[in-house]
Amino acid sequence: MRRLTGRTAVVTGASRGIGRAIAERLAADGALVAVHYGSNQAAADETVATIQRAGGSAFAVGAELGDDQGVDALFAGLDEGLSGRPLDILVNNAAVPPAGPIDSSTPEEFDRIFAVNVKAPFFVIQRAIPRMSGRGRIITISSVATRMANPTQTSFAMAKGAVETMSFTLANELGARGITVNAVAPGATKTDVNAALFEQPPGFEAYLASMTALDRLGRADDIADAVAFLASDDGRWVTGHVLDVSGGIHLGPRVPSRT
Ligand code: NAP
């Protein structure tokens, strides 16, 4: 028996990138996975098809997050797909990217980041709680932007800081119901979608790798494997934690090797 056999999961933003890898990994571990997407249904259907070809179970749920209707749409699709089964695992992964430096940030961009990256996960959790089993897992994807001062990511980092605080606080609030609440903080993670971002300017990827203790960029499956640990019974005693899954980015100066 696989370690998540009989469990159910929803992964927001699972049509592509890190969310897709998480959905595939949880399904490979035996969970029935709701593959949420915002607008790219074709990509979500492809994720579902990949899971099913590998022998797993999944269904797609579309909902544009960022307003109250989005959360309603997500749970309408989730309830239909779960057909009365409880929810075991919620992964809040969907997020909009950094909006750029403060000089050019607009109030609209700021509100959008907080609507999708903070308000949506909070109210998705609120709606998920009554559906959760007594072995519930809530995992929200943060970022190392909360501990690394990146000059173009202030509003994004502020939002990720908010979900880390949310996870810490909710862990204490929800523990009595048997629910663990954690955050996972990736560093620079190269996916099928964003690979080009790391390839310009020339040398950028090598520069980022050189800031990382393990000397490479992350891959989506590096993040998915850490999420799978927290989602499993092996992660039962970990709650209120932010798990840095960055290969050790920006830990300190790298000592040149002495050969
Ligand atoms: P991505 O490739 O941009 O994928 C984002 C996913 O979220 C997509 O499935 C997208 O759906 C969905 N989404 C975005 N906005 C949405 C909205 N308003 N409503 C509903 N769905 C929405 O992202 P990623 O690079 O894999 O990142 C995944 C998570 O890791 C995010 O929380 C991100 O902040 C975090 N992270 C990533 C990195 C990195 O280097 N990649 C580093 C640190 C943290 P559609 O496909 O339908 O648009």
- At 189, give phi and psi (nearest 5°): -125, 115
Q: Whose CA is nearest to atom 16 of ligand 1?
A: 38
Q: State the pTM of this model.
A: 0.98
Measured from the Cα of 66, ligand 1's closest atom is 18
Spell out which residues line ligand 1, taking CB within 6 angstroms.
13, 15-19, 37-40, 43, 64-66, 93-96, 116, 141, 143, 186, 188-189, 191, 193-194
Measured from the Cα of 115, ligand 1's closest atom is 18
Higher pLDDT, 228 or 193: 228
27/21 Cα distance (integer angstroms): 10
Mutate to test the pocket of ligand 1, among 11, 93, 211, 245 (most ligand atoms within 8 A of CB): 93
pLDDT at 259: 63
What homologous superfamily is domain 8-190+219-245 in, according to CATH? NAD(P)-binding Rossmann-like Domain (3.40.50.720)
Dump pLDDT digits (tens) for 44-84: 999 999 999 999 999 999 999 999 899 999 999 999 999 99
* Confidence class for position 5, pLDDT limits 50, 70, 90: very high
Measured from the Cα of 160, ligand 1's closest atom is 34
Let me know: does 190 contact 218? Beta carbons within 8 Å: yes
Q: Where are the domains of the chain?
A: 8-190+219-245
35/223 Cα distance (integer angstroms): 17
In angstroms, what is the span from residue 242 Cα to ligand 1's centroid?
19
In angstroms, what is the span from residue 160 Cα to ligand 1's centroid?
13
* Confidence class for position 254, pLDDT limits 50, 70, 90: confident
Dump pLDDT digits (tens) for 89-136: 999 999 999 998 999 999 999 999 999 999 999 999 999 999 998 999
164/168 Cα distance (integer angstroms): 6
Percent of the chain scored above 90 by pLDDT? 93
CA–CA distances in Å: residue 205 to residues 98, 201, 217: 18, 9, 7
